[in-house]
A and B are shown apart, each in its own frame.
Chain A
Amino acid sequence: MLISLNWMRDFVDLPEAIDVHALAEKFTCTTAEVETVEHLKVDARGLIAARVVSVADVPNAPHMRLAELEVGAGATVQTVTVAPVLPVGLSVVYAPPGASVAALSKIGTTEVAGQQSCGMILPGDAIGVPMAIKEAIFLAPDVTPGQSLPPEWFDDWLIEVDNKSITHRPDLWGHYGIAREIAAITKLPLRPYPVAPLDELQAGSGREFKIEITDPEACRRYSGIVVTGVPTQPAPLWMQLRLGHVGMRPISGLVDLTNYIMADLGQPMHAFDADRVDCIEVGCAKRGAKFKTLDGFERALTDETLMIQCRGVDVAIAGVMGGLDAEVARDTTSLLLESANFEPSIVRRTATRLGLRTDASARFEKSLDPKNTVLAIQRFVELAKPMYPNLKLTSPLADCYPAPLPKVTVSVKAKHVSRAIGREVTADEAGALLAPLGFTLNDSGDVWTFDVPSYRATNDVSIEADMIEEIARCIGYDTIEPTMPQVSLRRVAPHRLHDLENAALRHWSNGPGFREIQAYLWYNSEWIVQLGYDPGACLELRNPAADGLHRLRHTLMPGLLGAVRKNRFHFPAFSIMEVGTVFDPASKDDVSRRHLGLVMARRGKKSEDALFTELKGYIEAWSWQAFARPAGFSTVEACAGRAWEHAHQTVAIRVGDVEVGRASVVDLSLRQAMDEHLGAWGIAWAEMRLDVLADLDPVIEPLGRIPGHPRVELDYSLLVDSQVRFAEVVSQLDRFKNDLLKQIRFVGSYEGKSVGAGKRSLTFKTVIGCEDRTLVDDDTTEFCTAFEKHLAGCGFDVRR
């Protein structure tokens, strides 16, 4: 929100030569963040009012017009202008020859399009008012041609306050509220808010109009008055300039005036044509009703939309925008002026649903002070009187306030203030700091009680902590001496899953050389279609970031494979991993899980077996190092739909005796579907459940002993059918029990001519020994006989 320093000076007597940057910094550190400070230096010299006497076209220059202007004392000049609208009889801001403004070059008498042009009609944007291109600024009827326009109105300082930093402060959405903070910061007095006395409003002639509020929780207060004598005419120049400086385009006297009050007090107002709206009902729209707003758009309403109605007809969307039909028009003679207070969440919901966030709705959302409805009307009358000499109040003030908000008083324990701020704070100090903000300290013993002013009492300040904040920020955070806390020591259990995740990332990035990536939590529909993956039932987003990004992942694989495709252009080989959350919507207890996904990719045909072997080796090593358990792999059926599970190569991974995940290689057809170049790559992957792994009880494996007697090693090569899986062979060997057997180690697998077609030779090394003596020949023979008998029983041929 933009704050004008000129405006501010109406309420606080700031020194002429104030350092605005320093003031803004102080405001940031005490109240709310200032985003920018800008010196608007129009540098207007010699500008006067000039009345349009006549307007004529300029031959061969369709965008230009020749205006005759009265410039005082009966004198007229002619000037060429590009102002699009120039009604005869209205006065404009005119720069006669010799006048100057910073944004324009020298102003004199020149020839334009073959016409003599004396001085110029100033467009709004040349003097700091955001108008449509080249539009002139029109002056109120009370100015006389030739009247000089005060240069000090044109120059200003603008302080932009970050809107997000004042969402909780409804009082700061107008200049007067900001002025209150500035007065407190600068320790200068704040002038009372200039308004017409309430008696004057209550003494309006005629009948009071009826206001009916159906739901006092939706509409807390509704106030209004009927006035006449408000003709269509421009607002005073000073008002237009100030509005322009804070980014609001001057439109007409009445609109400018209500906008001015909104930027002044923070209270939005609206004017209806009193001939069309002569009573007010606040209630909900009919379901499916349509309503044409001021901006000309037709809006669909729901039965939750809070509306202003008159005799059952919708006339405005409460807190958002008025209707086109009851709008004040040129022929309007009598206005129904209203200001109201609505439940913030209702206004916000409606504005959001309609996609119609207006200056008014932004303010209503902040929970405004209900007192402001009447105050705004008083302010309106105060400002309108000098603008409209024929202004008449033709009704007494109507004010419907069914459930007035109670006065808010907050108790504060003195010791809590000192505890929170970290130093002694006395009641006198606190009282003095908060008085300029409107808080009254009533009781100053061990428990202080503060009366909260109404403009801070709508949600903003209600409990002790709120008061502590007020005291702390007024003391100044920069004056609080930082001190490290005194704490109590206690032991808490470690978060095993988090620790495991860190350890896993460290392990896999260090030794095996994997690179961590992070992918999105959702599938990309296009990509999973390309992968031929049907994820089935997913947890879904109601509002995805984009179409096709609504399904939350069950597996990390699509993301990792996407990264493979992305990186294959740039690297001949890489290993990547992700630790991330996946979801299983079918699960009762653990919908959300943590996975570790690992992918190794390497360019080169026939590289996949080697990669898979390497990956399994890494998993075995990790299993021992992290869990002190062996890893095992057993053939499982590939999961239908998960195209990255190879039909014949997919295994379940066991750590100890717990199944923790799966591993496989990506087959040729999927690689080609991912990217034709990946046809010549090998891709191996594994995905494991970290949450399951974190639940494994820690095992400490005792160190082995150095044998006291020599061991004997015997190698056995087993000839098996190629179809027989290694895992089966191992489980058969595991069944063999013998007191002398210390270890069976896998040495290698061999396929080739010497073993014959369809056969495979698996070599194991057995280690035998005895703890209390050296083995003799008979021991070895006995072992061999027993072992070979077992092998024969399993159907394995022993290859000599």
Chain B
Amino acid sequence: MDLETLNQQIAEIEADVAKKVGDMQAVDALRSLDTSILGKKGTLGSLIGGIKDYPPAQKGQVGQTINAAKKRVKAIIDARHAALKQAAVSADSAGAMAHDPTLPGDRPTMGSVHPVTAVQWEVERIFERLGFTVEAGPEMESEYHNFEALNIPASHPARDMQDTFWLTNGSVLRTHTSPVQHRSMKKFGAPLRVIAPGRCFRYETIDASHENTFHQVEGLLIDKDISIANLIAMAKTLLNEVMNREVKVRVRPGFFPFVEPGIELDMNCEICDGAGCATCKRSGWIEVLPAGMVHPKVLEAGGIDTEVYTGFAFGLGLTRLAMMKYGIRDIRVLNSGDLRPIVGRERQGGAVIVSREP
């Protein structure tokens, strides 16, 4: 066979393979095609055996030609093989036994902090960004820390049995976080920027909106030239951050023995937008922040030089804030230990809960 004929024959074989492979759907058929072309006895494979009939000078070229052809044919078959495999895989993954990618994930057991803790952390972060330090004070306090150091004299109504839990050892359960004002002044001196979140106790009948055990956060800033204008600015910043919106506020006089002047900061009622509703007792305003300039007697009791330093203080009801933020209607749920409000919350309209809880 001369070279030209050989080339022609190879070309025919290649054309034939290309044609056959194009329609081939089964991997088995592809395999037998592979054997019938490239196998030792195959149309291309058997050509190798004919090399010996060529003159020595041509042998090398013939061999290369045949091998190159084999490589090309092999590539065509392999490509088809890969395509068939791919098709089979994708046919599998779309089949009835395939994984449903919309199934929910396998969730680890989840925990949670108390809603008041969550709000407390938020407030702590806001103040830490403003350079405040976070302090804590004891829940059992001496009369001195809870009252006297805060300019609440023995005759003040707050010291009645009605408002305070008294202990048999003469101490009280603190009625506010304000004792930490005095403790911080003693501990750090001036200038000072501190907040103190914590649990407080009042002798009060429990109902949907009153608890005898609740959380507050105290704020105190003492420095040179501190003014009411500073207090109002700080209070507005705090409320804007906590409520995550521009809050409209109203400042009015308020009376607390440990501040002078004392103010009450009211926030525009979110529910009725100031029109008056049940939540704001028809006033359009919600009392959120009792505050004031620290009373000189409180500063003096804390060892602060009132000629050099002034300061402001405020108290924020964390429990109330948590109730507003999370839409808690009944305060009693917070100390009940009942996990239902947190875990497996019922969805409006009974929407399907797909995630596994808890």
Contacts and interface: CB of A to CB of B under 8 A. Distances in A.
Nearest 7 interchain pairs by C-beta = A422-B229, A563-B337, A422-B227, A469-B261, A513-B109, A345-B155, A509-B111
B339 A574 contact: yes
Kindly name the residue among A35, A473, A585 whose own CB sees the greatest number of chain B CB atoms within 10 A: A473
A650 B133 CA distance: 40
Contact of A487 (B117, B221, B254, B339): B221
Kindly name the residue among A465, A510, A542 whose own CB sees the greatest number of chain B CB atoms within 10 A: A465
Interface string B228-243: 1110111011000000
B261 A465 contact: yes
Q: How large is the interface on A (under 10, 10 to 19, 20 to 34, 35 or more residues)?
A: 35 or more
A515 B293 contact: no
B118 to A, nearest CB: 9
A53 interface: no
Main secondary structure of the interface of A (DSSP, over half): mixed
Contact of A481 (B133, B203, B229, B340): B229
Interface string A542-561: 11110000001000000110
A583 B296 CA distance: 34
Interface stretch (A273-281, A296-304, A495-503, A776-784): A495-503
Contacts of B255: 165, 167-169
Interface in A480-536: 480-490, 492, 494-495, 497-499, 502, 505-506, 508-510, 512-521
B348 interface: no
Given A352-B160, A480-B229, A488 B224 contact: yes
Interface in B36-86: none
A595 to B, nearest CB: 12
Interface string A132-158: 000000000000000000000000000
30 contacts: A28-B252, A33-B254, A352-B162, A365-B157, A419-B226, A421-B228, A465-B260, A466-B260, A468-B293, A472-B228, A477-B228, A477-B252, A478-B251, A483-B233, A490-B191, A498-B135, A505-B113, A513-B111, A515-B112, A517-B339, A521-B139, A541-B173, A542-B166, A545-B203, A545-B212, A563-B339, A567-B338, A570-B339, A571-B358, A592-B140
A482 B232 CA distance: 5
A30 interface: yes
A484 B233 contact: yes
A566 interface: yes
Interface in A206-262: none
A100 interface: no
A195 interface: no
Given A512-B111, A521-B139, A542-B168, A488 B223 contact: yes
A421 B358 contact: no
Contacts of A539: 140, 167-169
B261 A517 contact: no
Nearest to A512: B111
Contacts of A499: 134
Contact of A570 (B166, B206, B227, B340): B340
B234 A567 contact: no
A422 B272 CA distance: 33
Interface residues of B, number: 84
Nearest to A488: B191
Contacts of A32: 253
B111 A518 contact: no
Interface of B: 108-114, 116-117, 121, 124, 131, 133-136, 138-140, 154-155, 157, 160-162, 165-169, 173, 188, 191, 193-194, 199, 201, 203, 206, 212-213, 221, 223-230, 232-234, 236-237, 250-255, 260-264, 281-283, 293, 295-296, 310, 334-340, 342-344, 358
B221 A566 contact: no
B191 A469 contact: no
Contacts of B261: 420, 465, 468-469, 472-473
A576 interface: yes
A518 B188 contact: no
Nearest to B206: A545
B342 A167 contact: no
Given A29-B252, A477-B232, A515-B339, 4 more contacts: A344-B155, A483-B227, A510-B111, A543-B203
Nearest to B203: A543
Interface of A: 28-33, 35-36, 165, 167-169, 344-345, 348, 352, 365, 419-423, 463-466, 468-469, 472-473, 477-478, 480-490, 492, 494-495, 497-499, 502, 505-506, 508-510, 512-521, 539-545, 552, 559-560, 562-563, 566-567, 570-571, 573-576, 581, 583, 585, 591-592
A86 to B, nearest CB: 40
Contact of A484 (B237, B282, B358): B237
A637 B337 CA distance: 30
A465 B296 contact: yes
Contacts of B173: 521, 541
B113 A420 contact: no
Nearest to A27: B252
Contacts of A570: 339-340, 344
Given A482-B232, A488-B223, A575-B111, A541 B191 contact: no
